[in-house]
Amino acid sequence: MRIAIMGAGAIGSLYGGFLKKAGHDVVLIGRPNHMLSISDSGLKVSGVLGEHTISIEATSNPLDVAAVDYVMITTKTYDTIRAAREAEHLVKTGAKVVVLQNGLGTERQVAKALGTTAVLRATTCFGAEIVTSGAIEVTGTGITEIGSHYDENKSAIHEFAAALREAGFQVTESENIEGVVWTKTIVNCGINPVGALTGLTNGEIHSNPALRGLVVKLVEETVRVVEALGVELTTDDPVRYTLGTAKATGNNINSMLQDIRAMKRTEIESITGAVIRIGRELGIPTPASESVYALVRALESKYLPEDDLKRDKPSLYTEELVRAMTES
């Protein structure tokens, strides 16, 4: 199977690297420095999965890549549409798209931008970070869940899930991908902003009673929004599930904190921001979420250019997202 990984940062490099080790033909597409180091010396992987050096094709120019079977988008959510459009030539020649990201509605954005329903959605519980160009550290493992909003993709789900299993990933094929995405979003809403604001690992958040209380408030607000949308979650106890995730991934520095430390844009808009906007659309107050959202945005404002702050708005309007979920 020929697979292109669009936005091959830490997570994209991890999935692409192990798919290559399993015998698939994989090309990573990412930032020039990271791709150049991988081309020169291979992808170096360290951490909980052991030490590996993987020889793999890498480029910073999507137009260097010819026909593939699958395009896996692993960018940050604010780069989703750009990545999809840069891969449009691959989709036109028959590639299916797998969107592996945080956030809400990104697979619908991709389907709309590319005019195709050959779009799968996946979530991951893996944690990884780039140590230096060409090298990643895997900090945590977990389940990869994959599904689609479009019924015609069942065979593609089976095929891609099988490839991931061959690569050593634990994979669940879900018929309730909306519930999967929202369950992951609840966890992210509860843990990520708190970690970003405090600089603490997931385990340190869990062991602090005051912060645990804040996580509970954030989760409860998000659950009220989910209930209003009529989405069936994949857990019966979202609070316990979120706190359990924080404890189980105790050494993880969550992705939002990684972004703050690296002085990059966070995904706060597509996680907490999306919940706030949907809550307003549905008349559900989210005061704790609004507070942490404002504080994370304030941290970003210390280093992001003003133009970036102004354009960091959701590309899928709230009304459209609410309509899509309530009508599905």
What would you report as the CA-atom Rg of the chain, rounded to the nearest whole angstrom? 19
Q: Give the position of tokens 């990545």.
A: 83
Asked if 229 contacts 252 with a C-beta cutoff of 8 angstroms, the reply is no
Asked if 270 contacts 193 with a C-beta cutoff of 8 angstroms, the reply is no
Asked if 272 contacts 294 with a C-beta cutoff of 8 angstroms, the reply is no
Asked if 184 contacts 241 with a C-beta cutoff of 8 angstroms, the reply is no
Asked if 11 contacts 74 with a C-beta cutoff of 8 angstroms, the reply is yes
Taking alpha carbons only, the member of 138, 13, 137, 157 closest to residue 74 is 13
Residue 184 among the catalytic residues: yes
Q: Could you tell me what percentage of the chain is helix, strand and coil, using 3-state DSSP and rounding each to the nearest 5?
A: 55, 15, 30
Asked if 212 contacts 243 with a C-beta cutoff of 8 angstroms, the reply is yes
Both tokens of 52, joined, read 């590996």
- The neighbour count for residue 132, using CB atoms within 10 Å, is 11
Asked if 48 contacts 76 with a C-beta cutoff of 8 angstroms, the reply is no
Both tokens of 282, joined, read 């549905």
Asked if 295 contacts 192 with a C-beta cutoff of 8 angstroms, the reply is no
Asked if 134 contacts 38 with a C-beta cutoff of 8 angstroms, the reply is yes
Q: Which of 20, 44, 184, 217 is catalytic?
A: 184
Q: Which residues are catalytic?
A: 184
